[in-house]
Amino acid sequence: MPILCYIVFNRADYTYYEGTFIRRFWQAMQGHPSPNDMHFYVSRIWNCFFKSPGERQFIPDVLPIPLPYYFFLLPGLVLAVVKRRYEIAMLATIPVVGGFVAGAEERRVGLLPMPFWIILMGFAFAGLLRLRLPPGFKIIILGVAGSALACGFVPSIQYIYGKTKSPFSVYHFSQAEVAASRFLKNIVAGREPTNPRLERDELKRHEGPDAPYDTLICPNMAYSILHLFLHDYGDQKILSFCGGSPICVMAQQEIWRLNKTAIANYVPRGRDLKLIWQIEDPLKTDKIIKMYEPLQQLAKEQTISYSFVSGNALGGESKFCVLDIPSQNITEFQERVRNLPDSLEPTAKPTPPPTPLPTSGEWTPCASEMQQCNFSGTKQVRFGANGIYNYGTFTGGVLCANSIFGDPISGVVKHCDYADIIEATPTPPRRLRQRSR
């Protein structure tokens, strides 16, 4: 009842996701042309259940149910309806209908009804055992049923066994994320970092004294799992170094902004501070870590690593860059970080805008912002709006953009004008004057 009440009073929010699929499906039923026609929906649901590899989110490389099992599943569905076990029949079919309406875009449709498919197969087995047939016929039928069962069961066991040899081959098992979470939890707890392994009650806080330092972490992929492992240690604060999100889904500039914010907001408690970045994507992390090089006298940098599944592309070794700041240096370190550039991009030394050359006074509009201003010869060009401009001298045209002129007035759409230059005689470089002699 509470769920039904929630749906009634929050219908728009609750149906926002599903409503998109329903509208598209309704349009297809009304004769929407290809590609969003009924053929699209039929082919997608067919591929979801009968094509391997197929577009399935959890197990794309194996069918949701082995083909021989359909000889038990379909008769079991009929028997469940005959025996008026409508709830089992509905729970086994509603996810399939939902997947069909969604165009199999919600690819977990094969997982939700699986327990009820097994129950339906049980109806079929029970029906076979209750058949009143001569013993010879019954043995033959049970033998065929056992063969069909084995044809699906044996490949399933082989598939599962193959996955156990390489657990990283199933992405959604999140083995790499679990390993990183175990490793980082030990660091947060003040324990010696070692290769991660399964421990008793590993989601609970370790017994013993707290670490003599505080920790801020930027993980590469671990997200919800790392939050779970660090919950008892204050996961929100520890992972605020990257805003609670993993590096892999963030832009480099955003990571740097969140790094600066977390360091500025950190409240010293008379303990050392440990900053950690997981180095899985050096293109993102190297530039950020290099920003701290001017502060080397205040902190000590080291690299630590662990090995989980050696030789596996998704496991292997994972590295972390650690910056240790002694407690007596934290305040100065924070102040120095505040003064570091907000942008990761190198900033040229500011120079005063060039003094406009004398012009004819007649400005000709040539382009709006982000458009090309075209002209012939050498012209004085101004870029701005509302009487505020930056100037430059160009030949043959120029792009009307902040990247060329700088931003003379932010928050408004700017434009370019050009004018003829009066007595614009460029002074030749010294090297050219020497040659003229």
Mind listing the pLDDT tens digit for each residue in 356-403? 555 556 788 888 877 788 888 888 999 988 778 898 888 888 888 877
Q: What is the pTM of this model?
A: 0.54
Handedness of CA 244, 249, 255, 257 (dihedral sign): negative
Whether the link from the prior residue into 294 is cis, omega within 30° of 0, is: no
Question: What is the spatial distance between Cα 57 and Cα 38, in angstroms, rounded to a whole number?
Answer: 22
Mind listing the pLDDT tens digit for each residue in 253-269? 999 999 999 999 999 99
- Domain ranges within the chain, ordered by starting residue: 2-165, 172-338, 353-437
pLDDT of residue 398: 85
Question: What is the spatial distance between Cα 347 and Cα 9, in angstroms, rounded to a whole number?
Answer: 53
The CATH code for residues 353-437 is 2.60.120
pLDDT of residue 356: 59
Amino acid at 111: L
Question: What is the phi/psi pair of residue 232, to 5°?
Answer: -75, -10
pLDDT of residue 17: 63
CB-CB contact of 304 with 272 (8 Å): no
Question: What is the phi/psi pair of residue 214, to 5°?
Answer: -100, 160
Quote the tokens at residue 294.
């001017």
> How many of the other CB atoms lie within 10 Å of CB of 107?
19
Q: Which stretches of the chain score pLDDT less than 50? A: 310-314, 347-352, 424, 426-427, 429-437
Q: Which bin fits 316, alpha (ψ -120 to 50), beta or left (φ > 0)?
A: left
pLDDT of residue 280: 82
SS3 of the chain: CHHHHHHHHCHHHHCHHHHHHHHHHHHHHCCCCCCCCHHHHHHHHHHHHHCCCCCCCCCCCCCCCCHHHHHHHHHHHHHHHHCCCHHHHHHHHHHHHHHHHCCCCCHHHHCCCHHHHHHHHHHHHHHHHCCCCCHHHHHHHHHHHHHHHHHHHHHHHHHHHHHHHCHHHCHHHCHHHHHHHHHHHHHHCCCCCCCCCCCCCCCCCCCCCCCCEEEEEECCCCCHHHHHHCHHHCHHHHHHHHCCCCHHHCCHHHHHHHHHHHHHHCCCCCCEEEEEEEECCHHHHHHHHHCCHHHHHHCEEEEEEEECCCCCCCCCEEEEEEEEECHHHHHHHHHHHHCCCCCCCCCCCCCCCCCCCCECCCCEEEEECCEEECCCCEEEEEEEECCEEEEEEEECCEEECHHHHCCCCCCCCCEEEEEEECCCCCCCCHHHHHHHC
pLDDT of residue 55: 66
pLDDT of residue 62: 84
Question: What is the spatial distance between Cα 54 and Cα 65, in angstroms, rounded to a whole number?
Answer: 13
